[in-house]
Structure 1
């Protein structure tokens, strides 16, 4: 089931980032060794009541003139309309209702997506009540007063947000067809791969109706199984500021990866793997998706008997935070090894849903502890009591210990490697939850 996506749209300085941070809270867990996970997170996981959703901050560049502001807001609104299930349209009670608000509001209204009108900076509900009423003039329903800075009214707003999750066809997206997101920088051959796969499999392309997102869904049948390929190449916007273009493609990648089981990162063999690739695939890693790295245009590379292993090492080095990723050398032009892509996808899907019996896990854990003593701190030693697998996609394990503080990242990594030695789990992330149990 893909998580709903909620986007925040609004003029500069109405408090989009403040609202984003208030909702994302300290919950943004930054994995130390994932590159490109910077302060300016564009997306975050938020949970409210029993709902989990992905929040996207479309803001970014603050334009200087008022025409530029409108242009930039139209672009933000377009991103939100393309990718979001629910849109939070943020306005500012102190600046009041401006012309730019009304113009963007028309766009949002026409999109047919659920839009919540949220009026920010209302830190005193009595004082600003009349000013809030002014926003009824926009004609998109009741304004919801909040103060992102003082965290007032956010609960009421979230109650309204999650009401829309059932309206949209979110519940029906539970497809048996595995979703494969094709991600990567522009011009590395993402669409060519899909076209070539289509050509080789002679299938009727079904552009799935109702996906207003930029990502184009193509169902391909191979050996009697269907796979839904989600292509993030989508629309090319002309002469965008580079920074904004990057932000736009990241938002698009988030929304495609969110709906996929596996992400295939496509790299141009001649350009090699870059920091930007690491940033893009970091999204899939964060989301616990299966990951395959497809090195495209391999036919253009001059080779000797060491080329593959040297190239593999280079990829592993830069993408060191996903040692579990599978690497495949392909050519969309000649079709070289493209059929193998399906074999690897099948293997990764199987690994993502593999369950290991608790007894076996505890044997591995006991043996691992005997081979390498758990860390200690000021005379207190970490004790591991018990380990069990609690879910799949990605396989998630809970380890009960005497003291969470003592469980260093490196020891968790060590246990992960022992489990991988035993079961492979190639192509999928593994998640570990550490729980404390007081000593008897």
Structure 2
């Protein structure tokens, strides 16, 4: 099961970022009276009663951004709501209900997820009755809090944890159906690949770029197992997205990547890697999705260019994606396609794998013993223990004394150790550093 996400939404200036910082115990999101300060999603790992979850702050719903980024902000909010397990709908007790609150409630009306209506700025019990009007919004349990006065902190965390999905809730018995997103820029042969896969002309195939305008789910069988291939529209450069059709095609392609288990990133063997390719790979990486680089139309270069040349080209271009496998296929004839899908199945299995806490701690202890972390402010940072808290992607938390003490270089070293010794060699790994709470006395890893 992936790490649960708790998403904070609401109109501008109700204190969403204040609540985010308050629950995180750190000033992570910018707090300002000017509306629209928060634009991108900001996330932070939290733990309460041994349940780990990600808290996600979003921009204000309904604001007209001064830099003409309204559409982008709204898209980020939609992505956050789409991925949420619990939603905190924040309102302002001092202001009471305003039209934008009703607009937010309308947008959440058909969201089938637990919602907590958080009446912020209820600074004292004498203000509790002022929040009663929010019952009219009809959106989830109403809780009166004040981030400024530290009122209702523990009650809010309790309510969140009660509404998180049970641990292991989405882990199925047996082999689950794998969803594969087929992505790439225009005219790299994605729809031809699907048609060959199905041995039927299911998708429209044309030399005209942009024939596929929407993401299409196609079911197929391989060795008696059912899978879903998601054919996505080829993407343009950001500046070339001029029409609503282009915008929604891009949005749906990105949504397909998010809901897929594995992404097949297609390249044209006869063309250079483009800016669009780099944007797509970055998006896949940002979503922590397993990815296989697929060099299509290889028959056109077979015998002329060694595969090693393309391998080096991909590794040099995408230096943070060395873990991604590389396949060379011909979608027109089906050459190497079955091997590609078998490899996708292996990668999918890796993303769902779990390792025991004892095995993980032994591995971390050996890595620390062999290569201790560099000194930070005249002290060597410590890791007390490690635990895997989620799958898809494999998510590992290192409980330590000072998260800032570990450099990015050292974290890359630890990730390489995990890839070399754990069953996560070809998939992204989410790694969190968490400061050990004062009441946590566990100290499994002994460092010299």
TM range (shorter): 0.5 to 0.7
**Counterpart in the other structure of 2:280:** 277
| 1:140 has 2:139 as partner | yes
CA change 1:71–1:255 in 2 (3 A) is: closer
Partner of 1:171: 169
Spell out, residue by residue over 1:73-111, the C-alpha distance to the aligned partner (whole angstroms, 9 max, x if none). Answer: 987886566544433222222332112322442342344
Change (3 A) 1:73 1:148: farther
Q: Which runs of 5+ in 2 are unaligned?
A: 29-37, 203-213, 235-240, 434-443
Structure 2 distance, partners of 1:292, 1:335, is 17
1:195 Cα deviation after fit: 3.6
Question: Is the alpha carbon distance of 1:5 and 1:345 closer, same or farther for their aligned partners in structure 2, counting shifts above 3 Å?
Answer: same
SS of aligned partner of 1:135? helix
Match of 1:313 in 2: 312
1:309–1:2 CA distance, 2 compared to 1 (3 A): same
For these two proteins, the number of residue pairs brought into alignment is: 400
Alignment of 1:34-433 (within 5 A): 40-59=40-59, 63-64=63-64, 82-122=82-122, 124-148=123-147, 152-166=151-165, 171-172=169-170, 174=172, 176-177=175-176, 179-182=178-181, 192=191, 195-196=194-195, 199-200=198-199, 220-227=220-227, 229=229, 239=243, 252=255, 255-256=258-259, 260=261, 262-267=262-267, 270=271, 272=273, 274=275, 275-285=278-288, 290-296=290-296, 305-306=304-305, 308-330=307-329, 332=331, 335-349=334-348, 353=353, 369=370, 410=409, 413=412, 426-429=425-428
Aligned-pair distance for 1:227? 3.8
The residue that corresponds to 2:16 in the other structure is 16
Report the Cα distance in structure 1 between the residues aligned to 2:58 and 2:320, rounded to whole angstroms. 27
Instruction: Indicate how the Cα distance of structure 1 residues 154 and 306 shifts in structure 2: closer, same or farther if over 3 A, else same.
Output: farther
Q: Secondary structure at the match of 1:87?
A: strand
Is the Cα–Cα contact under 8 Å of residues 374 and 381 in structure 1 kept in the other structure?
Answer: no
Contact map agreement 1:266 1:296 (CA 8 A) in 2: yes
CA distance in 1, matches of 2:110, 2:55: 22
**RMSD between aligned alpha carbons?**
5.8
Give the distance between the partners of 1:400 and 1:10, measured in 2 at CA: 32
- Contact 1:181/1:256, CA 8 A, preserved across alignment: no
SS in 2 for 1:89: strand
- Tell me, what secondary structure is at the counterpart of 1:147? coil
- Give the superposition deviation at 1:344: 1.4
For the residue of structure 1 that corresponds to 2:158, the secondary structure is helix
Q: What 5-or-longer segments of structure 1 have no aligned partner?
A: 29-37, 204-213
TM-score (ref. length: structure 1): 0.64
Counterpart contact for 1:194–1:229, Cα < 8 Å: no
1:196-240 CA-to-partner distances (Å, cap 9, x unmatched) read 37514999xxxxxxxxxx987665431133445567779xx9956
2-structure distance, mates of 1:23, 1:341: 44
